[in-house]
Structure 1
């Protein structure tokens, strides 16, 4: 190395380093200390707002520097990631798009409610930043108070490094392994070509009635613990209780119109004061493609189970859930993130919520009943959850209207709405519906028949069974 080059190195090296707010900021650094672990990638992420449908919160933790989260054009705004358990936080990397934060904080929280600032600056310059910090918490967020441009806040990547305080034992208690696992899958980025007539839907319906009600059991969250849960309304399988297993579901009956659907579906009971309100008749549970390449969707494995939403969710959690479609609606009122105070007489309360549709291929369940599943990012499954499976969408309707001030779920306010799925479909039946309707680009009823494309036929016969 020449003398001139050595002098230039000494002069240039310190330029990107500044000490701000008690944290060391190093511009342009892409990697953390070798001992640190990337904790945030693929974790559940929400934000105070999103700029549009193409800039979701999850895009900031997908490991893809070409996708981004973008906020509304106002102050303040925040982006929050759930690490899954308490962690010691040692550094945070922020890869800003042109729209950056001039003033922001890095905050941690044990519960998503009470926040502690572990870094702050009022002179942010955007670009790529690595902030070395000392903090702990399960939740980490960027809290922006002053934008650096007239636009919103925009992050290509938000990476949190550190170590989990009590990391779960891999494949230990609480893990249910798939047998066999699905390996060697790469997330599909294929875009199916246009069809004539156009393919606009990739779905079929499961129409299922209430099978058991007001039962304080949850065989996923509280297995073999009768009475440990808040009250649930069960649909589909007629035997679901605290001791439910895949074998018991497969040998049970069903309240679904399709005999092969012995899946257990359940949600918190809706109450009007102290009186339970049950959905009347069969409810619509959609099985759709959640990814752009609908031809890559494969059926659920037997025994796959998961929870969508959370009884402890805040209004912001529910509003920003990647699967929240329309929230609550009644009459002409829609996109409510809590149960409306009033509904026109004679209407029904409706709710829609979409489930994640990317599976890790290894686990039928995990200790938090969620980590083995993930939402697609911009229509593509993340690398650590590469297997595209049907995206379930609950479309529930409860016969309650008028004064809704006393209407709530057994789990709490409207935004505590969540549901559980324990797959027990007959394997050939689910495969036929998935292939014919989702992979085939059809809008199917429970028989697997698309009335707009009758020439394509049906997957099942008039008894909703395989022909």
Structure 2
């Protein structure tokens, strides 16, 4: 599970920690224990990675690192859960097909899933020299708004973007809305979370108010945290590569424009969002953030791709999401 070529990403040896690791798929189904706990099915379909303590309620009083018995992530002490909405292709005839997920460069063999980052200074600062406070047991957050459909709305979230992959190594440019042309190697959906915590609340009613962006600039530019949220935490980032290559024949695209749609019915891309429930075992994440870890980390236990792929949870919502379907899951029920 080592990254084959750090040079491919412009990465050089740092002074401190940056974690970049792969996680296989845990399950794909309509559950969202952060936004709609206890509701099965949830309003739209999600793809989930991480520990197998994931369930419909995710009791915030429980330490999921103690509840889980396996994880789909490379670092076997990480039982956190990470999830996003699922991407669909809408054909000219109005039917939908779920877009498959492929692993990132260097993580070949993983079954679907995402690449996860925990950064001290963002990828632009190779030294990674800042100190950050790891998330605490019970911590959870959300970034993005599933109902947004315009750029002014989405501008509230500074770093939720897309990359149209010309090759698997493409990283720029990034856009806030869906690419409008076929992407030869797929579409990468990038979700970066806020990096300033109020230091008190492990969650908030909207799952966002206890977090903030820097007072000025961005995490990468070293902007200071506001007085209301003074604690600097790692920047959590997701990369999901949606394999849109099999849907790149423009003759099959709807006449109305680009054919990709998020599970909640968003054809603009502005409704992209990500959910996070912390579940690192004991102080393992803080130890990693305080150590000279770069991509791989000798202070953390690493498991094989086979072990990652083996971890899963059974589906609790039974519905067809893997063939051509006439409507998005949930659209006919209003749930």
Band the TM-score falls in, shorter-chain normalisation = 0.5 to 0.7
Mapping 1:63-462, distance limit 5 Å? 199=14, 202-213=17-28, 215-246=29-60, 247=62, 249-250=64-65, 251-252=67-68, 253-273=70-90, 274-280=96-102, 281=110, 282-290=113-121, 294-317=129-152, 320-324=155-159, 326-331=161-166, 334-345=173-184, 347-378=185-216, 379-401=223-245, 402=248, 403=250, 405-411=258-264, 412-413=266-267, 414-437=269-292, 444-445=294-295, 447-448=296-297, 458-460=298-300
Taking a change above 3 Å as real, the CA distance of residues 277 and 418 of structure 1, as seen in their structure-2 partners, is same
Deviations 1:386-420 (A, max 9, x none): 11111111111111131463211112131111010
For these two proteins, the number of residue pairs brought into alignment is 251
TM-score, length-scaled by structure 1: 0.49
Deviations 1:109-148 (A, max 9, x none): xxxxxxxxxxxxxxxxxxxxxxxxxxxxxxxxxxxxxxxx
Greater radius of gyration (CA): 1
Secondary structure in 1 aligned to 2:291? helix
Mapped to 2, the partners of 1:237 and 1:461 lie a distance apart of 15
Deviations 1:346-380 (A, max 9, x none): x1111222100111111111111100000113321
Unaligned 5+ runs, structure 1: 1-196, 449-457
The question of whether the paired residues in 1 share the 8 Å contact of 2:51 and 2:72 is answered with yes
TM-score, length-scaled by structure 2: 0.67
Deviation at 1:290, TM superposition (A): 5.0
Mapped to 1, the partners of 2:117 and 2:30 lie a distance apart of 26
RMSD: 2.7
The question of whether the paired residues in 1 share the 8 Å contact of 2:141 and 2:275 is answered with yes
Deviations 1:231-290 (A, max 9, x none): 111111234232123537321221111111111111011111222123223521110125
The question of whether the paired residues in 1 share the 8 Å contact of 2:26 and 2:72 is answered with yes
Greater fraction strand: 1
The question of whether the paired residues in 2 share the 8 Å contact of 1:308 and 1:355 is answered with yes
Mapping 1:21-40, distance limit 5 Å? none
The question of whether the paired residues in 2 share the 8 Å contact of 1:328 and 1:337 is answered with no
Mapped to 1, the partners of 2:34 and 2:139 lie a distance apart of 11
Secondary structure in 1 aligned to 2:199? coil
Deviations 1:62-84 (A, max 9, x none): xxxxxxxxxxxxxxxxxxxxxxx
Secondary structure in 2 aligned to 1:224? coil
Deviates more, 1:288-297 or 1:228-237: 288-297
Aligned to 2:323: none
